[in-house]
Chains A and B, each alone.
Chain A
Amino acid sequence: MTTLTPTRATGATTKASHALLAEPPYAVDDEALGAPFEGTGVNGAFVADLLSAALTHERCGTHLYRSVAGRTANPVLRARYEEFGRETERHVELLEDAIAAIGGDPQYVSPIARAVQGMDTSLLESTFRLDGTADVMVREMVMLDAVLLAETTDHANWANLAQLCEDLPDGEVREVLSRAVREVGPQEDEHLRWASDTKAKMTRLQASSPTMAKVGAKAEEMVATVKEWFS
C-alpha cells in the first residue's frame, strides 16, 4: 500500500538539523542515506534526497488530482484528472518500491522534499484560496494551470532520473531505477502533453466564447458552458 502522507504512524524519517528537531530513530544522517549507492560513483546522500523529493512531488500530485477531480464542473476534465490521479498514485508506488529495492527508505522526507511539499501545497491552495473572485471558468483554468505546472515539474523529475540512470554503472541500483523510468516516462509525456494542449484549447474556447463576452453572465450559464467544453 502506498503512503501519500508520511507520518510517525507510517514510519517517516527525516534529516535532523539545528532548525529541524527530530530524534533517533526518526532522524537519519547522510552516511546512512548514501549507503545504498556505495560503489556507484554518485553522491548517494544527494540522490537519496532527490528521490525523496521526486516521491513527494508524486504524492502531492495524487492529492492535487483528487482535489481537482472533485471540483471540476467538466466531465471530460474530471475523467482525465481521475485517470491521471490513478497513474500518479501508481508512480508513488513505483518510486516507493524502487527506493526500497535499492536499500533506501521510501518513508524518508528530505529537506528538498519538504521544500517541494511547500511549493506543491501553495500550488494546490492557489486553486481554491481565491475562489471568491473567480468565476467558474477562471477556477477551471486555475486548476488546469496547477496541473500543467505540476506535470511540468514531474516531467523534469523523471527526465532527470532517466539521465541519472545513464550515469550509473551497471548494477541493481541502475536496473531498478531504469525499470521505473521505463514505465513512468511515457505516462509523464502524455500527462504533460495533455495538460499543455488542453490549456491551449481552453484558452481558444474562452477567447471565442460569446458567454465570456457578456459581462455579468449568469453563473449557471457559465457552468453550462464549461460542462459542454470538449463535447
Chain B
Amino acid sequence: MSFNPLEEAGMPVEDQLRSWSQLDVEPYDKRDVHPHTRTRVILMNGIEVESIIFSHQFHRMTDNLEIMQALALQRRLDQQQQRAVNGLNPGDQSPLETTIGYEQVAVDLTAWLARTEPNPAVKQALDFGLLEDFDHLYRYANLYDLLDGKAAAELTGHLTEITPGRPTVVEHRHPYDDLNGHVSTHTADPLTRLHVMTIVAAEQQTMNYYMNHSSEFVEPIARGLYDEIATIEEQHVTHYGSLIDPLDSWLKQLVFHKYNEVYMYWSMSTDEVDDRIRSIWDLHLEMELGQLQVAADLLRRYEGVEAAEILPPSLPDVPVRFETNKEYVRSVLESQIDLRKDGFDYVDVDDLPDDHRYFEYQAKVNRGGAPSEQVIEQRVGGNGTDVRDESEGEHPVADLRQPAAAG
C-alpha cells in the first residue's frame, strides 16, 4: 500500500510533550524478549540519538530564532522518544548482554541493508562492514562466557551465528582508508539514502556505547576489548558517514532525518511481535509525521523548496527488517574475508604493497598484542575451545574453523 508521509498530518508537535510517568515505560523481560525486539529497541535508540546530535549541530550553525526554537522543541521531543525507547532495556540486562544485542543489530541490520541495497558501491561498503561487526559478536560472546559463564546464543536466540568474521585484529587500518566516495543526492535511490542514514546512526550509537561503557569493567581484558572494538566502530562511522552527499543544505538534511525516522518507526512496527512495544513504535511514528511537517514547512519558507521535490512520492515499500541472515553472511564471508581498504578501493590483502600504510598502522596499534585475540586465547586456554554458535555447519573459511574441525 502506498504511504506518502507528506500527506499525513501526524501528531501536532505541540501535543507531543509527555510527563515523567508517561516516559516511565515498563522494560521488557530479558528472559523472554524476542531477540529481534531487543535489536529493534537498540536500533531505534540509535536513530533518536543521531537525530538529537544532528539537531544540536544544526542549531549551533544558526541564530535564526524561529529555526532554533523549532529545533529545540523537536530535540526535546526526540529526547523523550529516546528515553521511552531506551527505557525498554531492563536494568538486569548487563552492559555486556546489551553489547551482544548491539552486535546482533550490527550483523542483522547490515546484512539486511546490504541484501536490499540498490547501489552496488554502497552494498560493497555494507558487506565490508558486515564481516567486521560479525567478528565483534564472536569476540564479545567469548568475553561473556569468560566473565559470566553464560552463552551469548541464549541472547541471540540462535537467529544469528556466532563465529569468526574478518578478525578484529586485522580490521585496524589507517584513517585515510576509512573514507569512501559518496552517493549523489540527485541520483541516489531513496532507499539508499535511508540505508546510509540508518547505518550511520546505528554505528554511531554503537561507538558511543562502547566508548562510554569500557571503563565500567574491572577486568582488563574487558576494558581492552571494548576500547579496541570502539575504535573499529569509529572507523565504521567514518566509513558509512562518508557515503552521504555533503551537498544538501541543513534544512534538507533535517527533512531527510525526519523522513528516515518515519521510515524506521514504520519499519519497526511492521514486524514487531510484542503488541505493547508496537504501540510505542506507532505512537512515535505519529509524532515523527508531525515533526516532518514542521521540517517541511521550514524548508518551504526559508529555502523555497517543497519537501515533495526532494522526497519520493511514497515511502519505499521495503521495510527495514530484522530476520536471520545466516546464508547471506556465510556467502560474504566466503567471498570477501580477505578484503581490505586502500583509499576508496576494496582490495585483496595480498594485493597491498608491503609498504602500504595499512601494515604500518597495524604494526603500531597491535604492538604488544590485541585484546580481541587475547580474549579468544584466554577462552581456549581455559576451556580448550572458543565459543561459537555455528548452526549452519562448519565455518565457510577453512582458516577460521575450529582446530578440531580443520582438515
Tell me the A residues contacting B by CB distance below 8 Å: 4-9, 12-14, 17-23, 26-27, 62-67, 70-71, 109, 114, 117-118, 121, 124-125, 128-133
- B187 contacts which of A12, A117, A118, A124 (Cβ < 8 Å)? A12
Q: Given A14-B187, A129-B64, A130-B64, are A9 and B250 neighbors across the interface (CB < 8 Å)?
A: no
Q: Given A64-B304, A130-B63, are A21 and B186 neighbors across the interface (CB < 8 Å)?
A: no
Check B64 against A132 for contact (C-beta < 8 Å).
Answer: yes
- B305 contacts which of A5, A13, A19, A20 (Cβ < 8 Å)? A5
Residues of B within 8 A of A22 (CB): 183-184, 187
Shortest C-beta distance, A178 to chain B (Å), equals 29
Most chain B beta-carbon contacts within 10 A, residue among A19, A21, A23: A21
Give the residues from 63 to 92 in chain B that come closer than 8 angstroms, CB to CB, to chain A: 63-68
- A12 contacts which of B62, B66, B67, B186 (Cβ < 8 Å)? B186
Residues of A within 8 A of B312 (CB): 7-9
Most chain A beta-carbon contacts within 10 A, residue among B184, B188, B344: B184
27 sample A-B contacts, Cβ–Cβ < 8 Å, listed by A number: A4-B305, A5-B186, A5-B305, A5-B309, A7-B186, A7-B309, A8-B188, A9-B313, A13-B187, A14-B186, A17-B181, A18-B344, A19-B344, A20-B184, A21-B121, A21-B180, A22-B183, A23-B120, A70-B301, A109-B187, A117-B247, A124-B302, A125-B249, A129-B62, A129-B63, A130-B62, A130-B63
Is B119 among interface residues, defined by CB-CB distance under 8 A? yes
CB-nearest residue of chain A to B189 = A8
- B184 contacts which of A14, A63, A71, A129 (Cβ < 8 Å)? A14
Most chain A beta-carbon contacts within 10 A, residue among B180, B187, B313: B187
- A132 contacts which of B68, B118, B309 (Cβ < 8 Å)? B68
Dominant secondary structure at the B interface: loop
Rank and list the top 4 A-B pairs by shortest CB-CB distance, nearest first. A66-B304, A132-B63, A67-B304, A63-B304
Residues of A within 8 A of B396 (CB): none
Check A26 against B62 for contact (C-beta < 8 Å).
Answer: no
Is B303 among interface residues, defined by CB-CB distance under 8 A? yes
Check B186 against A4 for contact (C-beta < 8 Å).
Answer: no
Residues of B within 8 A of A129 (CB): 61-64
Check A7 against B183 for contact (C-beta < 8 Å).
Answer: no
Give the residues from 240 to 294 in chain B that come closer than 8 angstroms, CB to CB, to chain A: 243, 247, 249-250
Check A21 against B62 for contact (C-beta < 8 Å).
Answer: no
Residues of A within 8 A of B121 (CB): 21, 23
Number of residue pairs A-B, CB distance < 8 angstroms? 109
Number of interface residues of B (CB under 8 A): 37
Is B213 among interface residues, defined by CB-CB distance under 8 A? no
CB-nearest residue of chain B to A5 = B309
Q: Given A8-B187, A14-B184, A21-B243, are A121 and B249 neighbors across the interface (CB < 8 Å)?
A: yes
CB-nearest residue of chain A to B305 = A63
- A5 contacts which of B61, B64, B250, B310 (Cβ < 8 Å)? B310
Residues of B within 8 A of A130 (CB): 62-64
- A67 contacts which of B65, B186, B303, B309 (Cβ < 8 Å)? B303
Residues of B within 8 A of A66 (CB): 304-305
A4 vs B190: C-alpha distance when bound (angstroms): 18
Shortest C-beta distance, A48 to chain B (Å), equals 15
Check B184 against A19 for contact (C-beta < 8 Å).
Answer: no
Residues of A within 8 A of B186 (CB): 5-8, 12, 14, 109
Q: Given A4-B309, A7-B310, A19-B181, are A118 and B304 neighbors across the interface (CB < 8 Å)?
A: no
Is B143 among interface residues, defined by CB-CB distance under 8 A? no
Check A133 against B184 for contact (C-beta < 8 Å).
Answer: no
Shortest C-beta distance, B189 to chain A (Å), equals 6
Shortest C-beta distance, A113 to chain B (Å), equals 9
Is B182 among interface residues, defined by CB-CB distance under 8 A? yes
Is B207 among interface residues, defined by CB-CB distance under 8 A? no
Is B202 among interface residues, defined by CB-CB distance under 8 A? no
Is B122 among interface residues, defined by CB-CB distance under 8 A? yes
Residues of A within 8 A of B301 (CB): 67, 70-71
Residues of B within 8 A of A70 (CB): 301, 304
A177 vs B333: C-alpha distance when bound (angstroms): 55
Q: Given A4-B309, A8-B312, A129-B61, are A124 and B303 neighbors across the interface (CB < 8 Å)?
A: yes
Residues of B within 8 A of A26 (CB): 184, 187
Q: Given A8-B190, A118-B247, are A128 and B184 neighbors across the interface (CB < 8 Å)?
A: no
Residues of A within 8 A of B122 (CB): 21
CB-nearest residue of chain A to B301 = A70
Check A128 against B64 for contact (C-beta < 8 Å).
Answer: yes
A130 vs B65: C-alpha distance when bound (angstroms): 9
Residues of A within 8 A of B183 (CB): 20-22
CB-nearest residue of chain A to B180 = A21
Check B250 against A125 for contact (C-beta < 8 Å).
Answer: yes
- B119 contacts which of A6, A23, A71 (Cβ < 8 Å)? A23
A93 vs B319: C-alpha distance when bound (angstroms): 37
Check A114 against B247 for contact (C-beta < 8 Å).
Answer: yes
- For the complex with contacts A22-B183, A114-B247, 7 further pairs of A-B residues with Cβ separation under 8 Å are A7-B309, A7-B310, A19-B181, A23-B119, A65-B304, A132-B63, A132-B64
A19 vs B121: C-alpha distance when bound (angstroms): 11
